[in-house]
Structure 1
């Protein structure tokens, strides 16, 4: 038996789950990682939910992932702000996933002269809150956004997401946000630190060339593209960079987690 040498970062939606359904083979894949004692983190650009919320969501699909193995753009944003300005203040547009992460990092949430305006995802964007954010940025608050995703899925169709609202604020203020989540490799580096792993021995599994594979390559990781989400084999060819490996789904990695590239 070959010696285990890979750690895993894996996107959630489109890789392990599709909407509220398990991607076939995802449970076997994660079970194999646990059985081998392999370090792994499940990543998501979605800042709405806390790791506890996401654990409950995954459990409903049949996936048992501990809170400690879930890394969100909200957690990465809180870590980044703590490194930049410890115990700072922020005006936040977002949900519990973001506000909880910032509170736990020692941040004060305020609408009075904040150090930062932090924009995350919510299903109920408020025009009043967006207007206040625009005015605060105009008064000197620094502009941070958890991720650049322009749209998100729902049962009724696509919804405007963080990137779309960030574009509105940017147009009104002339100030570009600093995006923390994928494809910023900062998201990967913060996940590696949380995992206690090195990029040389870690690979990223994702369903999107423009976020997952892009950020994985820029963070120095080997990358695996699965075709159960956004990117297809055809659209993947349009990018100037390539993943290390392309597979139909996460099920194709079961039995190969020790070294998926050798088995390919």
Structure 2
């Protein structure tokens, strides 16, 4: 058997550009989720967006016709909180971000403060404050450690690109000389935390994404098979610009739906774990 076609027990998929585009479901997205649930496959939908909580994103997806439990959503904010919960000694942080990030850190037991925090944690927000950025710079110069949810330089909007976490992190780094540790894609840590979340093994898990430079590379570095769909950032000709390749290149998530059945493990495989 071609190793690219061995059984798949678990699935990870990016959200924007794979399941939705500009708040509209991509054809086949709802059917893909339904196929996963019908076949009792473990799965997570991933996003580098740290603005929204999983509950918020579930509601936004439901409005597009995609029925997804919130426990099947994994954001860079949740991954950041899970990472810091294992790393922090004091569990104090000064946070620039929205409810997705602040609520994730609260639930992980962090106290959010601007008084000698152990960490400065930078996420995405639509209202970056000069005052908050200045405070972050001064706290880092005083010895706080710098974490950012994701390195994306821009985010989408109906009017065009907006500065995002990576751009603001670059500003803070220029002012302090302190580089952040990015938790979200393309850091394979995001993949590893996702695998742990659903008790998945890299050899029997597939990552679906629309970007070679985040989704595919982080999946590859975590030891997963990868599927690139062409409904988002990377075009078919654009694949050749990279020194690595996805396992499969498909037109859209609709083309992945038959693979959920085709790659379903046998009863013997499931019985053996």
Please give the alpha-carbon distance, in whole angstroms, between the structure 2 residues aligned to 1:236 and 1:129.
39
Tell me which of 192, 195, 212 is aligned to 1:192: 195
1:1-264 alignment, distance < 5 Å: 5-86=8-89, 88-259=91-262
Unpaired runs of 5+ in structure 2?
265-273
Residues 30-52 of structure 1 deviation map (CA, whole Å, 9 limit, x = unaligned)? 11111000111000000000000
For 1:207 and 1:14, locate their aligned partners in 2 and report how far apart those are by CA, in whole Å: 6
Provide the rounded CA distance (Å) in 2 between the counterparts of 1:191 and 1:38: 14
Say which SS state the counterpart of residue 257 (structure 1) adopts: helix
Distance 2:148 2:9 in 1: 31
Q: TM-score, normalised on structure 1? A: 0.96
Q: Deviations over 1:138-192 (max 9, x none)?
A: 0000000000000000011000000000000000000100000000000000010
Shift, 1:19, TM fit: 1.1
- 1:139/1:237 CA distance change after superposition, 3 Å: same
Looking at structure 1, the residues matched to 236 and 54 of structure 2 have their Cα atoms a distance apart, in angstroms, of: 31
Q: Report the Cα offset of residue 260 of structure 1.
A: 5.6
CA contact (8 A) 1:45 1:72 kept: yes
Deviations 1:117-155 (A, max 9, x none): 000000000000000000000000000000000000001
How many residue pairs get aligned? The number is 260
8 Å contact from structure 1 (residues 86, 106) kept in 2: no
Query: Is residue 148–residue 165 contact of structure 2 (8 Å, CA) maintained in 1?
Result: yes
TM-score by length of 2: 0.93
Q: How far apart are residue 6 of structure 1 and its match?
A: 3.0
Structure 1 residues 204-231: Cα deviation after superposition (integer angstroms, max 9, x where no partner): 0000000000100000000000000000
Conservation of the 8 A alpha-carbon contact between 1:146 and 1:179: yes
* Structure-1 residue corresponding to 2:270: none
SS of residue in 2 equivalent to 1:125: coil
Shift of 1:5: 3.2
- Classify 1:202/1:3 alpha carbon distance in 2 versus 1 (closer, same or farther; 3 Å): closer
| C-alpha distance in 2 between matches for 1:251 and 1:187 | 25
Question: Unmatched 5+ residue regions in structure 1?
Answer: none
CA deviations over 1:58-93 (Å, ceiling 9, x no partner): 000000010100000000000110000155100000
Secondary structure class of the residue paired with 1:80? helix
Q: RMSD of aligned C-alpha atoms?
A: 1.5
